Amino acid sequence: MCILAIQYQLVEGSPILVAANREEFYDRPSTTPSIQSGKPRILCGGDQQSGGTWLGINQNGLFVAASNRRKMLPPIVPRSRGVLCRELLRSDSAQQAVHLAMDELSSNRYEGVNYIIADRESGWCVHGGDDPNVVPLQEGLNIIANQDLNDPRDERVQLAHRLLTLQTLDSPVKFLAVASKVFARSPSAPGRPSMVIHGQDRGTVSSTLLALGMKPRDAIYQFADGTPDENKFEDYSPMLRDILSRGLREARAKAGA
């Protein structure tokens, strides 16, 4: 289980604004975001069990995130969905990552998964169910959990949509300020949808806030290691700005050559 909201290409100068809660088993170890070696550079958290990730950004401004979904006919020995998420982040563009995701998911080597894949040029949701398909992100607010993008049947998605559209989120600061409160919303009555999940064996284990602007210096990356209703967001923006600056320098050098 996970839930993610991405406001795409709505705010001028900030094409990608993200808020996401990760749900997982409490005893599954993970690491906080760090810069990964290799090319292109990636900033992401790490799943120590599989070696993959659930969310990350690369130096080219490519954003990829994963959420689980049900699948009627999963493989007997599945390949890690988090490892594929990390591999998608090695792509040069969202278009390239989408092609790789569809090639891999069509092989039926994975359990059910959704991938959000976006850069400043294009944004997509890959539904990796029994019949993998791709849908474009709409301009504005898009929300994904464990079914389809913006699924009207998903009460949690609808709750997030209602809370995030109570006011106009027309700047990165405003989006992140409102989203930080929405995604830290504690459970209310039993049986009602909530943004933070406190289960017995699994639940919300971390939360991410992200803003990708046209310039590296405008990028924001905040991460709460634990439930966001009980843990503060720490600032990882300097790491993100570092890899984005590296990517910009390399792109300019390549263009000059």
Instruction: Give residue 28's pLDDT.
Output: 95
pLDDT in tens, 157-166: 999 999 999 9
Strands 30-36, 42-47: pairing kind: antiparallel
Mean pLDDT of 146-172: 95
Per-domain residue ranges of the chain:
2-256
In words, the CATH class of domain 2-256 is alpha beta
pLDDT in tens, 55-94: 999 999 999 999 999 999 889 999 999 999 999 999 999 9
How far is residue 113 CA from its own chain's centroid? 12
Instruction: Give residue 1's pLDDT.
Output: 64
- The conformational region for residue 104 under phi > 0 = left, psi -120 to 50 = alpha, else beta, is alpha
Mean pLDDT of 3-17: 95
Give the Cα separation of 205 and 196 in Å (integer): 9
